[in-house]
Amino acid sequence: MRALYDVPAPAKLNLFLHVVGKRPDGYHLLQSIFALIDWADTLHFERRDDGALHRHDSGDALPPDDLCLRAARALQSQSGCGLGADIHIEKRLPAGAGMGGGSSDAASTLLALNRLWGLNWPLSKLLPLGLSLGADVPFFLGGTHAFVEGIGDVLHPISLPEQCFAVVKPQQSIATKDIFSSPHLARSNSVAIVAGFPAHNGSELSGGTQQGFGRNDLQPAAEALSPEVGQALQILQSKFGNSRMTGSGSAVFARVDGKEGANCQSMTFAEGLPSGWVARMCRSLEVHPLRGWADN
């Protein structure tokens, strides 16, 4: 009998994002709420006994620093495991969106191979390995919505009510390094505390500044670099009354309330969007689908 797993890798949205400082090594210090949503890639793993690791879904287009393979190689090396895997990814999440797609793929790879290879590493052992791959990977390993600090590596699990979001990814993507080097990069003057986040209502997305949560500090730089970001924000603002960019973009989202929000999965709003844009209605997840795959 073949040993295999099919696992999801869900995206995240930054409900707000503040730039609150900069480390001596040049990395910016952030504060954000990361919310898990049901837009996800699907990863397929089959165990190999010869130790080889292969991706079979991208052909020559696969970058040499592919996070999924990097995660598999790192786990194999750190554990001394002699097993390998054949890996296929059904890619649904758009690249360059600020939704954490690559980091989520890497986290699901670590969780799946930890089981497939019978390593039984606890979460506390996987988290440092995840951080070595990227600052967002520990969030997807943690399994819950989180108030995030540092460079994205300090996580405080939180609960959020179920919410509906309209998400749009313009065709153009923006390099994160260009965002952080932009003269339009905004910075927050005060540090937030998670207790002040107004998770119970939509005020944090309505353009208000309750407790300072009414913005993404990377958004002005993104709009200056990509007119498509501003265009997408205006489209969502006109339809839903709110809009915000997630992460470093270029995807943007709006919270959908009332009757439309209650019928989230049956709604469509992609008609009339420019060619090459991707749009989807998404619901927040209660927890990551793989939560508990590595014991604490």
Q: Assess whether 25 and 133 both reside in one domain.
A: yes
Say yes or no to pLDDT of 146 above 60: yes
Examine the pLDDT at 198 and tell me if it is beyond 60. Answer: no
* Domain end among 131, 157, 183: 157
Least trusted range by pLDDT, from 39-53, 65-79, 135-149, 210-224: 210-224
Whether 123 and 184 share a structural domain: no
Nearest to 250 by CA among 286, 274, 269, 268: 274
Tokens 């119970």 correspond to what residue? 200
Is residue 294 situated within a structural domain?
no
**32 CB neighbour count, 10 Å cutoff:** 24
Say if residue 92 is in the same domain as residue 198. Answer: no
Claim to verify: residue 102 and residue 54 sit in the same structural domain? yes
- Look at 138 and 185; give whichever has higher pLDDT: 138
| Same domain, residue pair 77 and 153 | yes
Task: Please report, for the domain that includes residue 77, its CATH number.
Answer: 3.30.230.10
Active-site residue numbers? 12, 136
How confident is residue 103, by pLDDT bands cut at 50, 70 and 90? Answer: very high
Same domain flag for 204 and 131:
no
CATH code, 212? 3.30.70.890
Same domain, 141 and 35: yes
Shared-domain flag, residues 120 and 207: no
Q: Is residue 288 part of a domain?
A: no
Domain assignment of residue 295, yes or no: no
Range of the domain at 76: 4-157
Show the CA angle centred on residue 294, arms to residues 292 and 296, nearest 5°. Answer: 85
Is position 289 within any domain? no
Same domain, 19 and 68: yes
Residues 146 and 172 in one domain: no
The 10 Å Cβ neighbour count of residue 182 is 16
Q: 57: pLDDT confidence band, cut at 50, 70 and 90? A: confident
* H-assigned helices in 82-226: 101-116, 123-133, 137-142, 176-180, 219-225
In a domain, 290, yes or no: no
pTM: 0.90
Predicted confidence band of residue 211 (pLDDT cuts 50, 70, 90): very low
193: pLDDT strictly greater than 60: no
Q: Which two three-digit tokens encode residue 213?
A: 């949560």
SS3 126: helix
Question: Between the CA of residue 163 and those of 15, 73, 182, what are the distances in Å?
Answer: 11, 36, 32
What is the chain's mean pLDDT, rounded? 88
Q: Among 127, 157, 187, where does a domain finish?
A: 157
Average pLDDT for residues 80-103, to the nearest whole number?
A: 95
Provide the number of structural domains found in the chain.
Answer: 2
* 152 and 169 housed in the same domain: no
Written as one string, the DSSP assignment of 139-175 is HHHH-S-EEEETTTTEEEE------EEEEEE-S----
Query: Where is the domain boundary, 102, 132, 157?
Result: 157
Residues 175 and 124 in one domain: no
Of the ranges 49-53, 255-259, 266-270, which is most confident? 49-53
